[in-house]
Amino acid sequence: MAGNDVIVLGAGIVGISAALHLQQRGRAVTLIDRRGMVEETSFGNAGIIQREAVVPYTFPRDPALVMKYAFNFLPEANLHWSALPKIAPWLFRHWLQSTPERKDATARGAKPLVERCIVEHEALAAEAGVLGLMRRTGYLRIYRSAQAFDQAVAKDAVDREMYGVTYQAVDARGLAELEPHLKGSLAGGVLMPQPVSVSDPGALGRAYGELLISRGAKFLRGEARTLEQVGGGWQVQTSMGPVTAPEVVVAMGAWSDDVLRALGYRFPLGIKRGYHMHYRAAGNATLSRPVLDAQNGYVLTSMTNGIRLTTGAEFANRDAPLTPRQLELAEPLARGIFPLGTRVDAQPWLGRRPCLPDMLPVISRAPRHQGLWLDFGHHHLGLTLGPVSGRLLAEMITGETPFIDPTPYRADRF
Ligand SMILES: Cc1cc2nc3c(=O)[nH]c(=O)nc-3n(C[C@H](O)[C@H](O)[C@H](O)COP(=O)(O)OP(=O)(O)OC[C@H]3O[C@@H](n4cnc5c(N)ncnc54)[C@H](O)[C@@H]3O)c2cc1C
């Protein structure tokens, strides 16, 4: 198939956003995925465009807390011990990157991307005609104990000072005003007013994909692992035969490694798995914004299909069978703070967060191959950062002056 400028591998939010930005800059794009558009991690996340998320998740430094995680005493994490030999090197590198100094470096690296996350989404959503899926609700953390609430408020004050993130502490009465259907004994909460909540992240991503196709791009089913260098360009086998282009973008989230290892790259890509389940709300109960039960690490969000409960991180082999233990632990806790009705989905959904040890994505030229570009590793923030990353990558590929310094996202930092 002739006439392609760029092949984009991976039709999640990251790949589709990169393809749209390349197309806006006059490139003929072919998007390739072995499945349909937005059928993996970008389909089922918590739907929060996290404008507040400058400060990264880090590996805990408190040995007592590490032990609690290791023995699966807390619902926010689940470790498959059988996976430890394989994932321990990544966990160790993540631990090394979690000192206060490295955490600060990550926050400073993430800030310019995070600051533009809503603007870049709104631009694409307006063109795709789906601004209605985006709700300017903010995002609420709730605390069950006064001690945890006080600690959070103190930490937020530091982060506000250092990184300019906006937080508003609210007491129990303020919580009841914000979310009248929350129940149980709650000490207080922190409202982050900036984040946007998407009522159906799968529909948002598909709408971006449909915009891409309506403007002339091709979407083909194909196997990215067939990628090979041919005659100064790149070729991939698809259901429509081989596709070639001078440039290729690897945007395959948790599977990016499958292609890059074959080309000799060894990125320390770890996977944090996570589950979701939808519930009917009992009676007339509603939630006006996503709510994080901060001491238990799950989120409740009102979505098109019901109240979506999303879990924290499961440390396991990427392709291991589902073990939705965190969901089983979180569900009764969630029922204690909100009147959830029956389950809606027949099975829990599983997604895979692609995580590099420093919790920054790779948005970069590949160090050793002409025409190979990388856009992966968006960890907990792929929905948030997909469009802004796509813009940055497209600017680099087309030789424009990037709107921010891309140095923190270089591939050769590992
Ligand atoms: C429970 C949970 C909650 C989350 N909540 C949020 C949130 O609220 N906000 C936020 O910003 N982020 C959130 N995230 C993170 C976010 O969902 C991910 O970072 C993001 O979806 C990654 O997007 P992606 O396009 O890189 O990968 P994906 O969406 O996983 O897409 C990768 C694509 O590559 C394709 N692919 C894989 N292998 C091959 C192959 N061999 N050949 C061809 N194609 C292939 C797949 O089929 C898939 O379509 C959450 C994640 C989870 C799990």
**How do strand 349-355 and strand 29-33 relate by DSSP bridges?**
unpaired
> Rounded to an integer, what distance in angstroms lies between the CA atom of residue 138 and that of residue 387?
19
Backbone conformation region of residue 383, classed left if phi is above 0, alpha if psi is from -120 to 50, else beta: alpha
- Report, as ranges of residue numbers, the positions in the chain whose pLDDT lies below 70: 1-2
* Residue 245, CA atoms < 13 Å, CB-side half-sphere: 24
**What letter does residue 75 receive in the DSSP assignment?**
T
Kindly report the protein residue whose alpha carbon is nearest to atom 16 of ligand 1.
Answer: 382
Mutate to test the pocket of ligand 1, among 137, 353, 355, 389 (most ligand atoms within 8 A of CB): 353
357 within ligand 1 shell (Cβ under 6 A): no
**Angle at CA 167, nearest 5°, toward 338 and 182?**
10
318 within ligand 1 shell (Cβ under 6 A): no
Q: What is the pLDDT of residue 312?
A: 96
Kindly report the protein residue whose alpha carbon is nearest to atom 19 of ligand 1.
Answer: 382
274 within ligand 1 shell (Cβ under 6 A): yes
Backbone φ and ψ for 57, nearest 5 degrees, come out as: -70, 135
Name residue 33's beta-bridge partners: 221
Place of tokens 């690296």: 109
Q: Give residue 404 CA to ligand 1 midpoint distance, Å.
A: 24
Place of tokens 């813009």: 391
Kindly report the protein residue whose alpha carbon is nearest to atom 38 of ligand 1.
Answer: 255
377 within ligand 1 shell (Cβ under 6 A): no
Mutate to test the pocket of ligand 1, among 8, 20, 37, 40 (most ligand atoms within 8 A of CB): 40
Ligand 1 atom at minimum distance from 375 CA = 26
The answer to whether the beta carbons of residues 307 and 322 sit under 8 Å apart is no
Q: What is the pLDDT of residue 331?
A: 98
Backbone φ and ψ for 264, nearest 5 degrees, come out as: 95, 5
Interacting residues of 231 by C-beta distance below 8 A, sequence separation 6+: 244
252 within ligand 1 shell (Cβ under 6 A): yes
Q: State pTM to two decimals.
A: 0.97
Q: What is the pLDDT of residue 71?
A: 82
In three-state secondary structure terms, 191 is strand
376 within ligand 1 shell (Cβ under 6 A): yes
Backbone φ and ψ for 164, nearest 5 degrees, come out as: 70, 25
220 within ligand 1 shell (Cβ under 6 A): no
Kindly report the protein residue whose alpha carbon is nearest to atom 30 of ligand 1.
Answer: 41
Q: What is the pLDDT of residue 68?
A: 87
In three-state secondary structure terms, 252 is coil
Backbone φ and ψ for 301, nearest 5 degrees, come out as: -135, 135
**Helices of type H across 25-75:** 63-70
Ligand 1 atom at minimum distance from 35 CA = 47
Ligand 1 atom at minimum distance from 350 CA = 53
Kindly report the protein residue whose alpha carbon is nearest to atom 25 of ligand 1.
Answer: 12
Place of tokens 């918590």: 46
42 within ligand 1 shell (Cβ under 6 A): yes
Q: What is the pLDDT of residue 1?
A: 47
The answer to whether the beta carbons of residues 4 and 30 sit under 8 Å apart is yes
Kindly report the protein residue whose alpha carbon is nearest to atom 26 of ligand 1.
Answer: 253
Rg of the Cα atoms in the chain: 21
Length of the chain: 414
**H-run or E-run covering 256:** helix 256-260
Extract the runs of DSSP E, i.e. beta strands, from 152-232. Answer: 168-171, 188-192, 196-198, 218-230
Extract the runs of DSSP E, i.e. beta strands, from 94-187. Answer: 134-135, 139-143, 168-171
* Residue 52, CA atoms < 13 Å, CB-side half-sphere: 22
